[in-house]
């Protein structure tokens, strides 16, 4: 058959038995003195070597370097007569360089009168890859579970804690070992219970409010979020919860609200103060104008109506004009509240309010009567009484 002279076909113990070995879906081979003495077709298919390549050198060369010591140790211990577990796992190097995982079931036999092993090996590479992916995933979950800066816990349908992280243990001032297996119904504060039960009904839920985590602890402001926990078939097996201690945030919001209220009150008080100040300022301006008009200007008028020489007449006019100039800013402030008058219109409006005629106004302001009439017309226009017969003096007195 062109094989190594040491290689022997599997003993012919009847066609059914031989066919079972040759067509098995597992690698079946006999190992003796470190060499493969027999291998079925599935063996070559799994590791990719031809019969000649597999039988021409010690089988140890096909084993991954990390597992060779383990294989040698098992071989020598078996030769010393020790009883070893029949099933174990190891890695081999495929002909293309890939690493394969085999699960080997070994049985001691005699092959041509000498000790040997009958090996039944299954390719479990995909299973090992899935297990490794699951291990990595679980490790990431475990790392995240314990590293997050919030309290996380899992519970079953009876509200019994099945797992929790260190933050949860710190929150409840107990060890994780003591909390796992604890019934949450027996906790000091049961205000979380309705939220926990919502997850068992298949709904995500949340609860925010005061909570006491232990008898000795003070009430804090917690936010709890829960979600249902399901198995592979979708059946709810419990829930997961995440608790955030929002006490400081809640306290800060409360203080901010109080400060905002105080600020609103202070703002309202300031508005009242400013309004009162404006009213007092307006009153002062009205009082100044009124006092000058009632207590000073009448005497100036009497002086002007009396017989005086030209020099006294000039002084009297100067006194009157200066008094009008003094009152002018006050009149402007008062008038501008309800009317956008020019400075000259303010002077004319003030004299109209005093009951002066156009001729008197023209004389006092040293302008023509025609100019006074023009200003009268503009004032009526700005008051909105151009086409009415309303008394201009009365309108000015009313609005001032």
State pLDDT tens for residues 71-115.
888 888 877 778 888 789 999 999 999 999 999 998 888 888 898
* β-bridge mates for residue 31, sequence order: 36, 117
Q: Which residue has the higher pLDDT, 72 or 285?
A: 72
Question: Can you tell me the distance from the alpha carbon of 348 to that of 335, in angstroms, rounded to the nearest whole number?
Answer: 12
The CATH fold of domain 15-129: Beta-Lactamase (3.30.450)
- DSSP assignment, residue 50? -
In the chain, % helix, strand, coil (3-state, to 5) comes to 55, 20, 25
Residues of the chain with CATH 3.30.450.20: 15-129, 151-245
Under CATH, which number does the domain 151-245 receive?
Answer: 3.30.450.20
Residue for token pair 């190891």: 90
Of 357, 325, 149, 161, nearest to 240 by C-alpha is 161
pTM of the predicted protein model: 0.41
Check residue 135 and give its pLDDT: 80
Contact 298, 323 (CB under 8 A): no
Check residues 247 and 17 and name the one with the higher pLDDT: 247
371 Cβ contact partners less than 8 Å away, ≥ 6 residues apart: 362
Mean pLDDT of the chain: 82
pLDDT at 395: 77
Q: How far apart are CA 185 and CA 158, in angstroms?
A: 9
CB-CB neighbours of 52 under 10 Å = 11
pLDDT-above-70 percentage for the chain: 89
Query: What does the pLDDT read at residue 91?
Result: 93
Check whether 369 has a pLDDT greater than 80. yes
The pair of three-digit structure tokens given for residue 238, joined into one six-digit string: 């419990």
Paired sense of beta strands 205-211 and 236-245, if any? unpaired
């Amino acid at each position: 058959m062109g094989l190594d002279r040491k290689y022997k076909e599997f003993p012919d113990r009847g066609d059914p038995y031989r066919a079972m070995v040759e067509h098995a879906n597992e690698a079946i081979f006999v190992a003796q003195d470190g060499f493969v003495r027999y291998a079925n077709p599935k063996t070559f298919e799994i590791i990719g070597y031809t019969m000649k390549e597999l039988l021409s050198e010690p089988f140890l060369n096909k084993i991954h370097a990390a597992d060779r010591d383990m294989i040698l140790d098992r071989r020598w211990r078996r030769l010393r007569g020790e009883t070893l577990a029949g099933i174990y796992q190891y890695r081999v190097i495929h002909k293309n360089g890939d690493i394969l995982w085999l699960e080997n079931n070994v049985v001691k036999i005699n092959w041509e009168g000498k000790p040997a092993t009958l090996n039944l090996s299954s390719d479990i590479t995909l299973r090992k890859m899935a297990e490794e992916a699951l291990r990595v995933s679980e490790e990431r979950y475990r790392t995240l579970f314990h590293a997050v800066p919030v309290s996380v816990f899992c519970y079953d349908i009876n509200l019994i804690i099945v797992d929790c992280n260190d933050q949860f243990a710190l929150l409840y001032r107990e060890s994780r070992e003591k909390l796992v297996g604890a019934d949450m119904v027996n906790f000091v504060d049961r205000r979380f219970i309705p939220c926990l039960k919502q997850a068992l009904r298949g709904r995500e839920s949340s609860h925010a409010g005061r909570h006491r985590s232990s008898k000795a602890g003070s009430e804090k402001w917690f936010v709890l979020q829960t979600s249902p926990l399901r198995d592979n078939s979708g059946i709810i097996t419990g829930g997961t919860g995440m608790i955030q201690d929002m006490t400081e945030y809640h306290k800060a919001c409360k203080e901010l609200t109080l400060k905002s209220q105080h600020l609103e009150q202070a703002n309202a008080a300031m508005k009242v103060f400013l309004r009162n100040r404006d009213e007092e300022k307006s009153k002062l301006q009205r009082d100044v104008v009124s006092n000058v008009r009632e207590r000073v200007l009448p005497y100036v008028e009497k002086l002007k109506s009396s017989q005086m020489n030209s020099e006294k007449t000039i002084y009297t006019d100067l006194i009157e004009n200066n008094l009008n100039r003094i009152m002018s800013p006050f009149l402007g402030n008062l008038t501008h509240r309800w009317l956008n008058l020019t400075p000259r219109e303010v002077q004319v409006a003030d004299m109209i309010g005093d009951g002066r005629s156009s001729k008197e106004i023209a004389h006092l302001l040293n302008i023509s009567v025609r100019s006074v009439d023009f200003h009268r017309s503009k004032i009526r226009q700005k008051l909105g009484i151009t086409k009415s017969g309303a008394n201009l003096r009365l309108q000015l007195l009313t609005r001032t």
